[in-house]
């Protein structure tokens, strides 16, 4: 007799974005005249750049002739792309081998799956608030106890609160934890970790033989040269960190699907030899995954070409200009705003101590604008709200204008 994975029953609510979609549809049904503007999910809107389109076309053309046709590639990604990624990191002073890179169909699946190579009794720690995938997948894997309604936390997990008081970067865990998820530039708070802050976590992880799972999906939004774009810019990180990254926000590949994960061979945990965790991830990917689309990988190569990088920098600047427009607009309205520089997310304190969902409803009803309730990212996000800079300029300007003119605070 088949039985369910009971851990699914523990999940606190629906996944955040479908829940926002449900509420939005309901509002639209009740107000068909409302032209709703979306600054909620961090979904790219602008067309891919010319070199990248050319690379993707090249990927398609190759499939049309016998000489260049390819079927399955290497599960861990085609070697030219992994070598190009290694060269990209070398350009910022980080030396990694091509076989430390694992190309995938995006950072979300890798963020979800990486926990599967670690023992179920590992203690997992999360920034609070955090991208919901980290917590939910550890719940599904059975690493938590029950969800506690009064605290908004799962039993057995360690929460690392990120608040105004610590500039949205968590203090070190007070106890020994095994897996630590960090994201910088941060989704959702838009905070970017400084070198010393990451160094303190690397030191903690090496001392405790824990693993930092570092999500760098928004790294290309950093323009301040003092801020690290990769955890491997920190000395000693190769012994204790895994980095997950993506072409989604870097190059507009949210629909194309392409990302990568770096598992250094130097990484060691309590019961592993050097190279073993790298091999386990290789084993996991070769068993569960047949490799990213060959067309998408040609696109990835084009992103990393000189012209592609230049064009993607311009694309990123477009979104960062949106971020400035949102930031200025909210500040002029007297709202308390964080993030939005070196990161494409704005994190605002809800006015008048409203809850995150109260503010969601208010913004939708008064300005017809969708954002993301902070509490959806964890209990420390209560009373905060996230706006994404990934909209089309006209939409962003209209939304900010409506917030300024219609929102009653
Ligand atoms: C977000 O809005 O947090 C992200 O776009 C979701 C994602 O990248 O999966």
Structure tokens, 75: 């599960």
Looking from the CA of residue 388, the nearest atom of ligand 1 is: 2
Pocket mutation for ligand 1, best pick of 16, 17, 217, 246 (most atoms within 8 Å of C-beta):
17
Q: Collect all residues with Cβ–Cβ distance below 8 Å to 369 and sequence separation of at least 6.
A: 36, 37, 38, 39, 363, 399, 402, 403
Residue 330 Cα, ligand 1 centroid: separation in angstroms? Answer: 22
Phi, psi angles (nearest 5°) of residue 263: -120, 100
Q: How many residues does the chain have?
A: 409
Residue 345 Cα, ligand 1 centroid: separation in angstroms? Answer: 11
Among the listed residues 158, 172, 156, 147, the one whose alpha carbon sits nearest the alpha carbon of residue 121: 156
Q: At which residue do the structure tokens 């009653």 appear? A: 408
In whole angstroms, what is the distance from residue 113 CA to residue 280 CA?
Answer: 12
User: What separation in angstroms does the CA of 163 have from each of 157, 324, 389?
Assistant: 19, 22, 21
DSSP H helices in 182-234: 195-208
Looking from the CA of residue 188, the nearest atom of ligand 1 is: 3
Residue pLDDT tens, the chain, 409 long? 999 999 999 998 666 888 899 999 999 999 999 999 999 989 999 999 999 999 999 999 999 999 999 999 999 999 999 999 999 999 999 999 999 999 999 999 999 999 999 999 999 999 999 999 999 999 999 999 999 999 999 999 999 999 999 999 999 999 999 999 999 999 999 999 999 999 999 999 999 999 999 999 999 999 999 999 999 999 999 999 999 999 999 999 999 999 999 999 999 999 999 999 999 999 999 999 999 999 999 999 999 999 999 999 999 999 999 999 999 999 999 999 999 999 999 999 999 999 999 999 999 999 999 999 999 999 999 999 999 999 999 999 999 999 999 999 8
Can you give the pLDDT at residue 14? 66
Structure tokens, 307: 């012209």
Nearest CA to ligand 1 atom 8: 42
**Is the peptide bond between 102 and the residue preceding it cis, with omega within 30 degrees of 0?**
no
Pairing of strands 37-38, 259-262: unpaired
Pocket residues for ligand 1 (CB within 6 Å)?
A: 41-43, 108, 131, 187
Nearest CA to ligand 1 atom 9: 108
Residue 131 Cα, ligand 1 centroid: separation in angstroms? Answer: 8
Nearest CA to ligand 1 atom 5: 42
Structure tokens, 199: 């160094």
Structure tokens, 64: 């049309």
Can you give the pLDDT at residue 281? 98
DSSP H helices in 172-293: 195-208, 248-251, 276-288
Looking from the CA of residue 217, the nearest atom of ligand 1 is: 8
Which one of 3.10.180.10, 3.40.30.10, 3.40.640.10, 3.90.1150.180 gives the CATH number of domain 51-307? 3.40.640.10
DSSP H helices in 120-174: 132-140
Crossing angle between the packed helical segments 356-367 and 16-30, to the nearest 10 degrees? 40
Contact 284, 116 (CB under 8 A): yes
Structure tokens, 78: 């085609």
Contact 73, 294 (CB under 8 A): yes
Looking from the CA of residue 133, the nearest atom of ligand 1 is: 9
User: Which own/partner pairs from 283-286 qualify as long-range (CB within 8 Å, at least 24 positions apart)?
Assistant: 284/113, 284/116, 284/117, 285/75, 285/76, 285/102, 285/104, 286/75, 286/76
**Is the peptide bond between 188 and the residue preceding it cis, with omega within 30 degrees of 0?**
yes
Crossing angle between the packed helical segments 306-332 and 50-62, to the nearest 10 degrees? 130
Residue 65 Cα, ligand 1 centroid: separation in angstroms? Answer: 37
DSSP H helices in 31-131: 50-62, 79-90, 107-113
Can you give the pLDDT at residue 15? 67
3-state class (DSSP) for residue 112 = helix
* pTM of this structure: 0.97
Contact 169, 190 (CB under 8 A): no
**Is the peptide bond between 281 and the residue preceding it cis, with omega within 30 degrees of 0?**
no
Contact 338, 190 (CB under 8 A): yes
Please tell me the class of the 12-47+308-406 domain.
alpha beta
Pocket mutation for ligand 1, best pick of 38, 41, 259 (most atoms within 8 Å of C-beta):
41
Looking from the CA of residue 17, the nearest atom of ligand 1 is: 2
Can you give the pLDDT at residue 19? 82
Contact 75, 261 (CB under 8 A): no
Residue 41 Cα, ligand 1 centroid: separation in angstroms? Answer: 6
In whole angstroms, what is the distance from residue 360 CA to residue 22 CA?
Answer: 13
In whole angstroms, what is the distance from residue 144 CA to residue 182 CA?
Answer: 18
Q: At which residue do the structure tokens 């891919």 appear? A: 48
Region(s) of the chain under CATH 3.40.640.10? 51-307
Pocket mutation for ligand 1, best pick of 187, 246, 339, 343 (most atoms within 8 Å of C-beta):
187
Contact 211, 178 (CB under 8 A): yes
Pocket mutation for ligand 1, best pick of 131, 255, 346 (most atoms within 8 Å of C-beta):
131
């Amino acid at each position: 007799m088949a039985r369910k994975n009971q851990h699914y029953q523990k999940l606190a609510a629906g996944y955040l974005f479908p829940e926002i979609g449900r509420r939005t549809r309901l509002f639209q049904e009740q107000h068909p005249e409302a032209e709703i503007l979306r600054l909620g999910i961090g979904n790219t809107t602008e067309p891919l750049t010319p070199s990248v389109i050319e690379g993707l076309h090249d990927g398609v053309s190759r499939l049309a002739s016998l000489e260049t046709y390819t079927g399955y590639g290497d599960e861990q990604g085609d070697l030219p792309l992994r070598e190009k990624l290694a060269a990209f990191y070398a350009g910022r002073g980080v030396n990694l081998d091509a076989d430390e890179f694992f190309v995938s169909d995006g950072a979300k699946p890798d963020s979800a799956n990486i926990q599967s190579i670690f023992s179920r009794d590992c203690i997992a720690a999360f920034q609070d608030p955090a991208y919901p995938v980290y917590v939910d997948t550890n719940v599904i894997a059975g690493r938590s106890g029950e969800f506690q309604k009064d605290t908004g936390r799962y039993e057995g997990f360690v929460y690392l609160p990120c608040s105004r008081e610590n500039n949205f970067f968590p203090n070190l865990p007070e106890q020994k934890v095994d897996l630590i998820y960090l994201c910088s530039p941060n989704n959702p708070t838009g905070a970017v970790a400084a070198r010393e802050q990451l160094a303190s976590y690397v030191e903690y992880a090496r001392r405790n033989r824990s693993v930092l799972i570092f999500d760098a999906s928004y790294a290309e939004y950093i323009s301040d040269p003092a801020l690290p774009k990769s955890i491997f810019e920190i000395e000693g990180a190769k012994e204790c960190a895994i980095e997950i990254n993506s072409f989604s926000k870097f190059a507009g590949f949210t629909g194309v699907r392409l990302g990568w994960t770096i598992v250094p061979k130097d990484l060691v945990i309590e019961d592993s030899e050097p190279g073993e965790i790298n091999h386990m991830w290789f084993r996991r990917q070769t068993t569960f995954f047949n490799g990213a689309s060959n067309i998408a990988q040609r696109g990835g190569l084009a992103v990393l070409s000189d012209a592609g990088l230049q064009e993607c920098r311009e694309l990123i600047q477009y979104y960062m200009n949106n971020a400035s427009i949102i930031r200025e607009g909210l500040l002029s309205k007297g709202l308390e705003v964080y993030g939005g520089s070196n990161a494409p997310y704005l994190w605002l304190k809800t006015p008048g101590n409203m809850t995150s969902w109260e503010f969601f409803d208010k913004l939708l009803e008064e300005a017809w604008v969708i954002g993301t309730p902070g509490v959806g990212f964890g209990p420390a996000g209560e009373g905060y709200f996230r706006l994404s800079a990934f909209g089309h300029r006209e939409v962003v300007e209209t939304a900010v204008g409506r917030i300024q003119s219609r929102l009653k605070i």
